[in-house]
Amino acid sequence: MVGVGPFFPDAACLVAALVGVLVGAAATAAFRWSERVQKTVPPGPEPLVDDGVVRVLAVLRSAAVVVDDSDAVVRATPAAFALGLVRDGALVHEPIRRLVAGVRADGVIADAELDLPRGPMGPVTLRVSVRVAQVAPGLIAVLVDDLTQARRVEAIRRDFVANVSHELKTPVGALALLAEAVSEAPDDAQAVRRFAGRMTDETTRLSRLVHEIIELSRLQVATTDGLRLVEVDDVIAEAVDAVSTTASARSVRLTVGPSTGLQVTGDRQMLVTAVRNLVDNAVAYSADGASVSVAARSSRTDAGVDVAEVVVVDEGVGIPADLQERVFERFFRVDPARSRDTGGTGLGLSIVKHVAADHGGDVTVWSQPGRGSTFTIRVPKADQGVREAPNPQEDAA
Ligand code: ADP
């Protein structure tokens, strides 16, 4: 016991001292921490946002705003400012303020999808989903997700499906009618031959349409796998070869420019498809016996990018100025009847546009009704940006 007596007072002192230090450190830390939190909260009346809420808001993807009893904004995330939800310490949009008032009155979480003006002026709107909830006594949080882009993609997809269904229905309907006509005229050999010929045309159209839809969807999931060095001269030769039978059937003279040795990096088959679509159109929208020329050349864009250009020139019907941009839209045709006669699907140029974009390039058109059209695909040359690293010693010298 003798030895133990003095030990206890010492241990007690030590523990007391330790506790003192810990409490002091904790208090200092707590003070500093609360000071830091306070600094990030805009100055305003109590109540301050609970730190748990602050931390949750910080990790949320949604734009978030917390308002107090008087509708003053006590906290807003950068995304909320970016969406223009907050101005002068208050919520900008009346529909959101109404939701907040409702939640304040009945305490029930409110969800809504709203169209909000993007800015104080102009017709552009944002499609947003809003959730409003009470997060602490006197505090209401508004969470906003921007659905604009998602809704746009959805609308494009819906349009595309509707267009495809419509485009498929036409040849399928025609085939059904033709089959009926054949079965009703078994003894009229001439009529049967005529109907059979038209059935062949419709099936060709149908299979071309299905092929192009598949090609388009393949492009939309294109990755950078399988990209190779592609000789532009070879692409042109293969594309022209694929169209030569159609061209000679209509006595259209197809000429190819001199070899250039130009190379691009990309998917050779896709590039052939793109150039073939342009040559196909040039022949289809020209009169019998007209000339179509295809050539490659080297050029430099205004932004200083070295590109390989493939230029397809015809002397055909041309395209009115106000429709020249629209021809790249899916299923758009200047003259649906003519496109139908030529077996067109309305997808050819949208495929060209996708292929060019997937190769970091673009496609442009010059055209004059009655004089003809010139389509130009531009793709960056393969050796872009490959330069030898400068020798630092030489630089220094
Ligand atoms: P289509 O299968 O109908 O040819 P495209 O997407 O290839 O579809 O072309 C869209 C429309 O653009 C065509 O229907 C046609 O009206 C117009 N067009 C395309 N190329 C030419 C051209 N070389 N000359 C005149 N019109 C063209």
Taking the C-alpha atoms of residue 315 and residue 252, their distance in angstroms, rounded to an integer, is 11
**More confident call, 124 vs 13:** 124
- Segment 333-385, tens digit of pLDDT: 888 777 767 767 788 899 899 889 888 899 999 999 999 999 999 999 986 54
Q: What is the pLDDT of residue 214?
A: 82
Determine if ligand 1 sits within 6 Å of the CB of residue 327: yes
Q: What is the mean pLDDT of residues 73-97?
A: 92
Nearest residue (by CA) to ligand 1, atom 8, is: 346
Which pLDDT band, with edges at 50, 70 and 90, does 47 fall under?
low
**Predicted confidence (pLDDT) at residue 392 exceeds the cutoff of 70:** no
Determine if ligand 1 sits within 6 Å of the CB of residue 180: no
Q: What is the pLDDT of residue 22?
A: 37
What percentage of the chain has pLDDT greater than the value 70? 79
Rank 108-112, 134-138, 170-174, 381-385 by mean pLDDT and report only the highest. Answer: 108-112
Determine if ligand 1 sits within 6 Å of the CB of residue 344: yes
Taking the C-alpha atoms of residue 321 and residue 216, their distance in angstroms, rounded to an integer, is 26
Nearest residue (by CA) to ligand 1, atom 14, is: 333
What percentage of the chain has pLDDT greater than the value 90? 49
User: How far is CA 5 from each of CA 9, 16, 17, 28, rounded to the nearest angstrom?
Assistant: 7, 17, 19, 35
Average pLDDT score over the chain = 81
133 Cα–ligand 1 center, Å:
54
Q: What is the mean pLDDT of residues 246-257?
A: 95
Q: What is the pLDDT of residue 226?
A: 57
Q: What is the pLDDT of residue 99?
A: 97
Q: What is the mean pLDDT of residues 160-164?
A: 80
Atom number, ligand 1, closest to the C-alpha of residue 336: 14
Two tokens, residue 129 = 């989903």
Taking the C-alpha atoms of residue 128 and residue 121, their distance in angstroms, rounded to an integer, is 18
